[in-house]
Structure 1
Amino acid sequence: MMKSRRQFLLQTIPAALGLGAALQASAQANRVDENAPGSAALGYKHDATKVDTKKFPAYAAGKNCANCMLYQGKPTDPWANCAALGGKQVAAKGWCMAWAKKA
């Protein structure tokens, strides 16, 4: 027996929404923890304006993960993997001392 379009949508939309939530939770689980030993050693902050400039004088306004060559996403992506932090996701607005200007 064929399902009506309405029946099909009522069954598939909730399943798709559940998958979307699971994918989002998985992506958030892959985000780097600022307090993890590796990221703390590099001075990583999700918000570059919160970097301790006395401890990390290499930081300058305008430097952020989105314009770093190690950022493995598009500059417009809010989060992307970072080669310096084990492939974990970093915030585009973040910074760490591994920052290197994107060519």
Structure 2
Amino acid sequence: MKSSRRIFILMAAGFASSLGLSRGALAETVPVSESDATAQALGYNTDATKVDKAKYSRYQAGQACANCQFFQGKADDAAGPCQIYGGKQVNAIGWCSAYTKKA
């Protein structure tokens, strides 16, 4: 009886930890929507060339998620996880007011 309980506990722990990993991987594949509350607060736009320059005067041509320090994708990725949005995907050509040039 003890061994079957021990096996059950080990299996349950393994299942629970795999669920946690799945949720983390899922967060990285979910794209940020412009209607997301955080995205709206930061003026996220999926295409930096369409940023309202009157509203976001800090925006400068050439700024995009791909060259922001918070972008976690590779240089040639079309989208990648962003630290600002909890690992959700942002467009490489997108922009938000949290933009900080990569060092």
Specify if TM > 0.5. yes
Match of 1:50 in 2: 50
State the AA in 2 paired with 1:53: K
Structure 1: gaps of 5 or more residues: 1-25
Q: Do residues 98 (structure 1) and 98 (structure 2) align?
A: yes
Q: CA RMSD in A?
A: 1.7
1:27 is displaced (CA, Å) by 8.4
Distance 1:62 1:69 in 2: 14
Q: Do residues 84 (structure 1) and 84 (structure 2) align?
A: yes
TM-score by length of 2: 0.71
Q: In the TM superposition, what whole-angstrom CA distance separates every residue of 1:42-100 from its partner, at most 9, and x where no partner exists?
A: 00011001111111111110000000000001121001000011211000000001000
SS of aligned partner of 1:83 = coil
Aligned structure 1 segments of 4 or more residues deviating by more than 3 angstroms: 26-29
TM-score by length of 1: 0.71
Identical amino acids, percent of aligned pairs: 50
* Count of matched residue pairs: 78
